[in-house]
Structure 1
Amino acid sequence: MNPPEPAHTPQPDVVAAMRGDLADWRQWLARVIVLAYAAAAGLSVVAFSKLCDLAQQGFASVLAFNPWTPLVWTSACTAGVVWLTRRFAPAAAGSGIPQVMATLDPAVPAEARRAFVSLRLSVMKAVLTAGSLLGGLASGREGPSVQIAAGVMQHARRWLPPHPGISEHGLLVAGGAAGIAAAFNAPLAGVMFAIEELASRLEQRSSGLIIAAIVLSGLMGVSFFGNATYFGTIEVPTLRYSMWWPALLLVLATGGLGGVFARLLHASITGQGDRLGRWRAAHPVAFAAACGLAAGAIGIASHGASFGSGYGYTRGLLQGHVDVPLLYVTLRVVATWLAVWSGVPGGIFAPCLAIGAGVGHDVAVLCGAQADASALIALGMAAFLAAVTQAPMTSFIIVMEMVGGHAMVLSLMAAALGASLVSRWIARPLYAALAQAIIARGRLAPAVAAPSR
């Protein structure tokens, strides 16, 4: 007996399909509102970036006034920012990515989501993060951009009509990814971040609208910063067989160091009940002042190399114009750890890129591969960021789009995947673990005992 022939699915009636789609005015109104808020989210990240640039210029002026000033200035700024954060916006502390991931958990009630992602909190996050950079702390603005843009996008729900076709979950995913897209001037990285970190899969009914919103937010950054890559297009040397051993050493080094660093950050943020952890919990402002004092001393010892996000040194390393000080990687790792441990609002993306660039430079010097230093530095950036965040696809796309290294797509991908694998042997995924800690400790709602993620 022959199997029945498959039924043929008729093609849609073009006129009827157009009439049905155009007649649903609620869907079109919802799309216009979502895209308008996506543009607003992108512009908010652009404004935030400008504010952070002004803050770093302000710290440079303070440093130029007297090179010993950070011993007082950095300590005072750190203590002040922590006091303001705890007094007016406790949910603004830290990166912001774990907060957004926690609000995406379906077990978290709606009122708790608004406590960690809101328009008011976005404003506070921007101001307080700029205050961290004004103090010279080794913080980044990319993680906070996720929380800021998510807060802007979530506000769109107030204006959406009934049954808009996009859920609050979709708005949060679009907003968080829009923050990455606009901060790095890399829309593709934003889309990958949405898939890899914020949502295991996009909602089928609204995936097109979410991706359009992410890309539109990224285009806001392009409109203001131009279509040029942040670090410039690097000259990629011809990959020879002799490059395999330095590249393998680099992957192992960044993977191991990134895993240890991620584990250290998780233990420091969540607190393990040791003496320092108890002191931090009992006297957070005094602890922050001590962290700021230590960060200021490290910055002076490194001749300023460990201050700020590290973009200047990273760009200089890629272009071969900077000689890093001795123990640059170690000093920047400690400075970044102190910034995170102090409790100020701030991210780790930019500091991780700077650390990875330093590791790549050290491997190039160690292996006598100075001619291939720019390629190893780019690989180190992608590998170390992937090792700390355990988001390899997002990491390699960020570096590819930031340095214009499209000719290095396969090598960047391989380095990010390899370093992430090594890191997974040492530490849990950092952001997911922090999001789970937020929920488990009852910061969002007492009824939430464990995450579903």
Structure 2
Amino acid sequence: MKPMNSDVNSDEILNAIHKEVIDWRAWTGRVLVMVFAALAGLTVVALTWMTELAFGLFQQMQQSYWWSPLLWTPLCTAAIVWVMRRYVMGSAGSGIPQVMAALDGRVSPAHRSLFVSLKLTFAKMALATWGLLAGLSLGREGPSVQIAAGVMHHARRWLPDKSQVSEHGLMMAGGAAGIAAAFNTPLGGVMFAIEELSRKPEQRSSGLLLAAIVLSGLMAVSIYGNASYFGVIRVQNLSMALLLPGLVVAVLSGLAGGLFSRLLLLSIRGESGDRFSRWRKRSPVAFAAACGLIIAVIGLVSHGNTFGTGYAHSRAMLEGNDDTSPFYVLLKFMATWITAWSGVPGGIFAPALSIGGALGNDVAQFMGYANAPTLIALGMVGFLAAVTQAPLTSFIIVMEMVAGHGLVLSLMAAAVVASGVSRLLSVPLYSALAQLQLQRLPKNEQA
């Protein structure tokens, strides 16, 4: 016998399909989200081009006049901090904490521009590029998160009323799109959204926002090709011989990454009240100049290897063309920490991958492990997971560099172990920095 409500259910289904097809507001919103996602990806591509050009100019200057960083780097660092503090305070640091702060439920729509806006997008692009023109040890991936989030957030002005896409969803998708486009890894952007930015369950299952993240990543792939800036990690046949050196790399990278995270938080918070923290608070521009001078000296001592993102050094190491001193890990560690402490806009993803890769290479040399690229990959994923305490995102980013799937389980294990070790030394870095960002809100919204 035919059910009584079958006709009713059929009518409801047809009405839902009809409404979905003819609802111009829904389709306008979808098209706008995808357009702005493409724009966000292209903005990150523009940042990539700008920063590579800027660092190339710095390298030409340094090769022509070896002593020039001693003057140029401190001068630029001081000028960047002065401009930032006077005009765009919200552009300081990585950019990831700002997006996390903007997604916080305590932040009213009127104050989200303190953390994410088109003004901050353009300022971040200019100042991060200037930082690499100065030779500072920073990455563009963290800034890419804030930059792309600012572009996507601007889409809210054009969305029709009663759009199903929330302001939070736009910012989350934009931040993830920044990672996807910066690393040419759409899947890494999706995981970053889930692991670091997402706060509401419905955002995690939004097909439209996930499609926007993937589209942003494809913008970079379509222009630069499906290649990693660090090169390709070619893994040979694995055996049980990897177990001990792999474990050593995972634990050491966890300890080093946890120490880096703790040191960075202590120095940026300035809670210890030491002489340097008081100087930074009293005279931030002069302090930045001193940081720039130290970074220049470290760069010259390392024969220029610690300047910039670390992409070139890591690529040379993977290709077996690098004869860097074993002190590179320590020197790059210090240069990256001091760069972040100076307060300039810039990220730590790329330097973290460079430090971790060099740590893995050092272990391979010390333990006589023949397949050094394998330990380099484990060091990259371990140190990045330890610093960010985002093991899944770190695993996917490094996995994209590996030719073949033989190392997948080892990468995952290294990320989990290193992140666990890091948690013994430090709280999650970006969450803690996001809380510092929230202190810029009016007192009534901080409660």
TM-score, structure 1 normalization: 0.94
Aligned 1:5-154 pairs, distance under 5 A: 15-154=14-153
Q: Secondary structure at the match of 1:323?
A: coil
**Mapped contact 2:234–2:403 kept (Cα < 8 A):** no
Q: Distance in 2 between matches of 1:420 and 1:314?
A: 22
Equivalent residue, structure 1, for 2:248 = 249
Query: Once the 2 structures are TM-superposed, how far is the Cα of residue 240 of structure 1 from its aligned partner?
Result: 1.3
**Mapped contact 2:42–2:219 kept (Cα < 8 A):** yes
Q: Secondary structure at the match of 2:230?
A: coil
Equivalent residue, structure 1, for 2:288 = 288
Equivalent residue, structure 2, for 1:227 = 226
Q: Taking structure 1 as reference, are residues 248 and 260 closer, same or farther at Cα in structure 2, changes over 3 Å only?
A: same
Q: Distance in 2 between matches of 1:12 and 1:390?
A: 50
Aligned 1:16-415 pairs, distance under 5 A: 16-203=15-202, 207-272=206-271, 273-369=273-369, 371-404=370-403, 406-415=405-414
Q: Taking structure 1 as reference, are residues 178 and 224 closer, same or farther at Cα in structure 2, changes over 3 Å only?
A: same
Q: Taking structure 1 as reference, are residues 10 and 245 closer, same or farther at Cα in structure 2, changes over 3 Å only?
A: farther
**Mapped contact 1:140–1:350 kept (Cα < 8 A):** yes
Query: Once the 2 structures are TM-superposed, how far is the Cα of residue 14 of structure 1 from its aligned partner?
Result: 6.2
Q: Secondary structure at the match of 1:165?
A: coil
Query: Once the 2 structures are TM-superposed, how far is the Cα of residue 12 of structure 1 from its aligned partner?
Result: 8.7
From 438, 442, 445, the equivalent of 2:442 is 445
Deviations 1:217-257 (A, max 9, x none): 00100111012333343221221112100001111100011
Query: Once the 2 structures are TM-superposed, how far is the Cα of residue 18 of structure 1 from its aligned partner?
Result: 2.6
Q: Taking structure 1 as reference, are residues 62 and 403 closer, same or farther at Cα in structure 2, changes over 3 Å only?
A: farther
Q: Secondary structure at the match of 1:447?
A: helix
**Mapped contact 1:306–1:335 kept (Cα < 8 A):** yes
> Alignment RMSD, CA only?
1.8
Partner letter of residue 125 of structure 2? A
**Mapped contact 1:55–1:131 kept (Cα < 8 A):** yes
Q: Taking structure 1 as reference, are residues 145 and 404 closer, same or farther at Cα in structure 2, changes over 3 Å only?
A: farther
**Mapped contact 1:82–1:343 kept (Cα < 8 A):** yes
Q: Secondary structure at the match of 2:437?
A: helix
**Aligned residues: percent identity?**
57
Deviations 1:155-214 (A, max 9, x none): 000000111101100000000000000000000000000000001444259711110000
TM-score, structure 2 normalization: 0.95
Q: Secondary structure at the match of 1:172?
A: helix
Equivalent residue, structure 2, for 1:4 = none
Q: Taking structure 1 as reference, are residues 205 and 432 closer, same or farther at Cα in structure 2, changes over 3 Å only?
A: closer
**Mapped contact 2:238–2:406 kept (Cα < 8 A):** no
Q: Distance in 1 between matches of 2:314 and 2:9?
A: 57
**Mapped contact 1:382–1:416 kept (Cα < 8 A):** yes
Q: Which 5+ residue runs of structure 2 have no aligned equivalent?
A: none
Count residues in correspondence: 441
Q: Distance in 1 between matches of 2:201 and 2:404?
A: 28
Q: Secondary structure at the match of 2:406?
A: helix
**Mapped contact 1:170–1:203 kept (Cα < 8 A):** no
Deviations 1:89-127 (A, max 9, x none): 111010000011001000111121112100011000000
Q: Taking structure 1 as reference, are residues 121 and 279 closer, same or farther at Cα in structure 2, changes over 3 Å only?
A: same
**Mapped contact 1:305–1:325 kept (Cα < 8 A):** no
**Mapped contact 1:100–1:150 kept (Cα < 8 A):** yes
Q: Taking structure 1 as reference, are residues 319 and 405 closer, same or farther at Cα in structure 2, changes over 3 Å only?
A: farther
